[in-house]
Amino acid sequence: MTTTNLKRRSFLTGAGLTVAVGAVASPAIAQSMPDVRWRLTSSFPRQLDTIFGTAQTLARYLAEATDNKFQIQAFPAGELVGGLQALDAVQTGAVECAHTPTYFYFGKDPTLALGTGIPFGLNARQQHSWWHFADGKELLNGVLARYNAISFACGNSGTQMGGFFRKELQSPADLNGLKFRIGGLAGLVLAKLGVVPQQIAGGDVYPALERGTLDAAEFVGPYDDEKLGLSKVAKYYYAPGWWEGGAMLHLVVNLNKWNELPKTYQAILFQAAEAANNWMLAKYDAVNPQALRRMLGAGTELRTFPQSIMEASLKAANELYAELSAKNADFKKAYDSLVTFRAESLPWWGLNEYAYDTFMIRTRGRV
C-alpha cells in the first residue's frame, strides 16, 4: 500500500468515516432517483412507425437517460383509448400521458388547434420557434391547465400533403358536398366552401375511403399515406397540405403527475421530448421522398391545388379566425401572437431560406 493510500485510509478512519467498498460505486444522484412507471396512449396506430415510433423513441431516450428508473410504456390508438380520446384519458388520470396533436381537441377550445398548427399558419421550424420563443407554450398550456394537463413539443411532420381524392379538382365549386377526412380547424375552413369534413382516426381512414363513406382523405404525407394504403382507393394526390405547414405533435401529461415528478425527471422528460421532436421531423424528411416515388411508379397521379382553391381557402380561413377571435379571448390572444410572429418571420424566410431552396430545386440536375 502506498504512503498516499495509507494517509487517505488513516484520514477516513480518524474522521469516523469508515466506508464500505461499494458505497462509493454509485453516484448519490442515481441512488436518489425513484422508479417511475407511466403509460402513454398514442393517437396513432402501430403501423405508422414514424408517428407511433416517436412515442417509442421518447420512451427509449427517457429510459437511457435515467438508467431505466423512469420508464414509459407506449400504447397505440385503440389499445387503451381511441385516438381522439387521448386528452380525455390524460385529464382523468386514466393514463399519465399521451402523444397526440392538440388540434384534435379544438372542439373543447379552438385555441388548442394553434399548438399543432392552423391553415396558412407556420412551417415546422417557425412553429417550433413560436412555441419556444414567442409565448406559444405559455398560451397553449394556459388552456390545457383547465383540462388538468401540460404539453411539450414532441414531433413535427413538416408540411403535409393535401391528401388523396377520387376526382380531380378544377375550382372551388368541386369542393361542394365533398366528404373529406381532415383534422383540426381546416375542416371548419373547408366547410365554408361546401366540404363535409370528417375527423377520423388514422386506422379508420382506409376503410372509409374504400367504402365511399369518404370522397377524399388527408393524413400526413407519402410515407404514412402509403402505409395506410390510400393510393389503392383514390387516384389523385394533391399538394400542398396548406392546413398543416408544420404540424407539431405534443407529449400531453397529466398535470398532477407532472407536478409529482422530481425536478431532475422533469428536466430529462423535457429534453427527451425535444430530442424525439427532432427525430420525427428528420425521419419524415428521409422517408417521404422515397415513398412518393414508389406511389407515383405505381400509378398515383400528382396534382397541386388550383390557385382559385388556394385563394378561396385563405379567404375562408381569415373569416373563420375573425369569428373565433370575436368569441374566444384565448384564441384571439394566441392567434394574434402567431400572426405577429409570422409577419416578422416571412420576410427573412423569403430573403434567405426560400431563395436558397428554390435555387437548389431549380438547379438540382446540375449539382
Predicted confidence (pLDDT) per residue in 261-317, tens digit: 999 999 999 999 999 999 999 999 999 999 999 999 999 999 999 999 999 999 999
Domain count along the chain: 1
pLDDT of residue 244: 94
Report H helices in 72-123.
86-92, 113-116
64: domain CATH number?
Answer: 3.40.190.170
- Does residue 22 register a pLDDT over 60? no
Question: Do the domain assignments include residue 73?
Answer: yes
Q: Which amino acid is at 11?
A: F
Which residue, chain included where needed, has cell 469516523?
Answer: 16
Question: Do the domain assignments include residue 100?
Answer: yes
pLDDT of residue 12: 40
DSSP symbol at 350: I
Question: Do the domain assignments include residue 79?
Answer: yes
Question: Do the domain assignments include residue 256?
Answer: yes
Q: Which domain holds residue 115?
A: 36-156+246-286
- What digits encode the pLDDT tens for the residues 115-151? 999 999 999 999 999 999 999 999 999 999 999 999 9
Which residue, chain included where needed, has cell 419524415?
Answer: 284
Q: Which amino acid is at 258?
A: W
Question: Do the domain assignments include residue 96?
Answer: yes
pTM of the model: 0.88
Question: Do the domain assignments include residue 364?
Answer: no
d(CA 57, CA 51): 10
Most confident among 143-157, 171-185, 203-217 (mean pLDDT): 143-157
- What digits encode the pLDDT tens for the residues 27-67? 555 557 899 999 999 999 999 999 999 999 999 999 999 99
